Structure 1
Amino acid sequence: MDAQFTRTWSYGRTMTPPVLRSAAEADLSAIVDLLADDPLGRLREKPGDPAYAAAFAAIEADPNQLLAVADRDGEIVGTLQLTFIPGLSHAGATRAQLEAVRVREDERGNGLGGEMVRWAVAQARGRGARILQLTSNNSRERAHRFYERLGFERSHVGMKLDLTG
């Protein structure tokens, strides 16, 4: 599963290319920090909450989950999660759900996010998924353009029901 990026970085700094690998428990704090590093994440994430450790353990134990990090010299600079969903629709097709794609602020704009998504596409294909889908909050217009540049199409209306209230 681990694969080193082969892209030539577009900005002038000399850097070691990141390695995309399975997340380890030691990465959890950095992952949560990435999730909290935007206007929506600041409202919903709670760095330091012990619930993240239980969630990580559940993800790690589930063979249909792939939580990955982009690691550059021991620093977590990105993360994503893939969930594989077996289904009957589309002649029994497996879907891959892409979630929580985040790149550390000082790494944004250099192509890392695109490399991570292309890697996720390859992982989904490698696991036999026929569809890769994602949801993105309506307010994330830049993210929508990013995904469209990578070939994703707006095809559905997503809806959610908050079960906590």
Structure 2
Amino acid sequence: MSSLDIRRATEADLPAIVGLLADDYRGREREDPRLPLDPAYREAFAAIASDEGQFLAVALLGDETVGTLQLSFLPGLSHKGAWRGQIEAVRIASHLRGKGLGAEMIAWAVDACRARGCQMVQLTSDATRLDTHRFYERLGFIQSHLGFKLTL
């Protein structure tokens, strides 16, 4: 399979990104890829695009947008002031999963975090995504924390 072209997302990429977010059993419950997109997606994109600590990426295979993820660069005092890279919303188009593209995208994200001076990379994954957990473990990630959320 060809190598991915990974770049910063533009507003024109939003329909493809939302489509990827909705392209699994959890995303179908919470995302709405119908056009025109809900204005909340454009508002969120504007906030991400204006924040230098955020990088919303799209991965292309030829002319097709086949993946996305969001990187957040987080300063902290713990670990002697270490910066962390937070990887979120990782998606590969369902018809291309299992072909190594996700691993390629995560490797790109880890390299981007290293280039920004991060001393660690972290991510979260829904507790029900057991295949995804095995995928991250194969890439060297170690399950280290138990996460909690409070929906507001």
TM-score per shorter chain, which class?
A: over 0.9
1:49 CA displacement: 1.1
- Select 1:41's aligned residue among 27, 31, 39: 27
Q: Is 1:159 matched up with 2:145?
A: no
Q: Distance in 1 between matches of 2:144 and 2:106?
A: 18
TM normalised by structure 2 equals 0.95
Q: Distance in 2 between matches of 1:40 and 1:109?
A: 18
Give percent identity, aligned residues only. Answer: 59
Q: 1:67-78 to 2 correspondence within 5 Å?
A: 67-78=56-67
**Dislocated runs of 4+, deviation >3 Å:** none
1:105 CA displacement: 1.2
1:71 CA displacement: 1.2
Say what the alpha-carbon RMSD is for the aligned residues.
0.9
TM normalised by structure 1 equals 0.88
1:144 CA displacement: 0.1
Letter in 2 for 1:137: D
1:136 CA displacement: 0.4
Structure number with the bigger relative contact order (C-alpha 8 A, sep ≥ 6) is 2
Q: Distance in 2 between matches of 1:30 and 1:86?
A: 30
Q: Distance in 2 between matches of 1:63 and 1:103?
A: 25
Structure 2: give runs of 5+ residues left out of the alignment.
none
Q: Name the residue aligned to 1:17.
A: 3
1:82 CA displacement: 0.4
Letter in 1 for 2:44: A
Question: What count of residue pairs does the alignment treat as equivalent?
Answer: 149
Q: Distance in 2 between matches of 1:41 and 1:82?
A: 19
Letter in 2 for 1:32: V
Q: Name the residue aligned to 2:139.
A: 150
Structure 1: give runs of 5+ residues left out of the alignment.
1-8, 10-15
1:88-142 residue CA offsets vs partner (Å, 9 max, x unmatched)? 0100011111001100011111100000000100000000011100110110000
- Select 2:123's aligned residue among 107, 119, 134: 134
Q: Tell me the secondary structure at the aligned position of residue 129 of structure 1.
A: coil
